[in-house]
Structure 1
Amino acid sequence: MGEENIYKNILYVDDEVHNLNSFRAVFRRSYTIFTASSAEEGRQILKANNIHLIITDQRMPETTGIEFLESIIKDYPAVPRILLTGYTDINAVIDAINKGSVYKYVQKPWSEDELRTTIENALKLYNNSKNQEELTEKLMTTNEQLEFLLRQNLLS
């Protein structure tokens, strides 16, 4: 699998149960897989779990993948998103990027190696983002401590 990621929880949303089962069978040993057969079920999983990567099908009966991603972006802005689809529609690609902040657009049927590489890269991006947040927080704390010490020295 390559470099280990601390963050491994993946949500895959697709209305076709066969696709969900195939995805789980292929990736279950490398990641913790959560599957949902609807956007609403996906939202419930997101609320109940700490998800690090979201993968969704584009064409679903009640909502499109882009609409689903757009609806959750406010609550989960840092989580990378991958859109899977069997259809090549340039407008869907543009909407995925502009509205759903999609990290990558992958066509079905997906190649296991290509999708695995895409997932690894997305999780590395998430890891880097989380590491940057932690470092920024530590830097702010250190700055506050230094500022306090400088003030103490100036007052003495």
Structure 2
Amino acid sequence: MDNKDKITVLYVDDEENNLISFKATFRLRYKVLTAINGAAAIDIVKKNHIDIIITDQRMPEMTGVALLEEIIKINPDPMRILLTGYADMGAVVDAVNKGKIYHYLSKPWSETELDETIRRAYEVYAERKDILDTYSKLEVSNEQLEFLLRQKLLS
């Protein structure tokens, strides 16, 4: 599978060692992009197609939830996964309500659990994309039928 056929995952964490570890672990399975902070992540989202975004919650300057809120404004399509090393239920609630996350995982992450979560998130992403494409086609068909019906009624 070449890079253009791989799922594109953006991993955001303020700890460079975590970025290196994630990339080393998943680079063969996914197209991995990394960002050291929220601003860099936003820039990457603006310039790249992203399928899955995984972000740490506790980062200086911008929390993971705040980052996801900003990303939704730019592109609401990518599936969002939040990681945190702290049992902060307030952050989890905010992530669900504000960041519209797909899944929440604790740090340190398990390779197997994170891989399964990425794959499940992508399945949902692909299904949602298919539904939206079908809906768009139905809208066009509906408009065409309405036009034909108007023409028939006017003639």
SS in 2 for 1:118: helix
1:13-59 CA-partner distances (Å, limit 9, x unpaired): 10111111111111111211110001111011011101111110111
Q: Which residue of 1 aligns with 2:88?
A: 89
Question: TM-score, normalised on structure 1?
Answer: 0.89
Aligned residue type for 2:8:
N
**Distance of 1:121 and 1:102 partners within structure 2:** 13
Q: Which residue of 1 aligns with 2:97?
A: 98
Unaligned runs of 5+ in 1: 1-5
**Distance of 1:41 and 1:140 partners within structure 2:** 37
**Distance of 1:113 and 1:19 partners within structure 2:** 16
Alignment of 1:123-138 (within 5 A): 123-138=122-137
**Distance of 1:152 and 1:70 partners within structure 2:** 46
SS in 1 for 2:33: strand
**Distance of 1:18 and 1:93 partners within structure 2:** 24
Question: TM-score, normalised on structure 2?
Answer: 0.90
Deviating more after overlay: 62-71 vs 28-37? 62-71
**Distance of 2:79 and 2:138 partners within structure 1:** 25
2:14–2:59 Cα contact (<8 Å) kept = yes
**How high is the sequence identity, in percent, across the aligned residues?**
54
Instruction: With a CA cutoff of 8 Å and minimum separation of 6, indicate the structure with the bigger relative contact order.
Output: 1
TM-aligned CA deviation for residue 155 of structure 1: 4.1
CA RMSD of aligned residues (A): 1.5
State the number of aligned residues: 151
Q: Which residue of 2 aligns with 1:33?
A: 32
SS in 1 for 2:130: helix
2:45–2:71 Cα contact (<8 Å) kept = no
Between structures 1 and 2, the one with greater helix share = 2
TM-aligned CA deviation for residue 76 of structure 1: 1.7
Q: Which residue of 1 aligns with 2:77?
A: 78
2:6–2:29 Cα contact (<8 Å) kept = no
TM-aligned CA deviation for residue 153 of structure 1: 3.6
Q: Which residue of 2 aligns with 1:142?
A: 141
SS in 2 for 1:73: helix
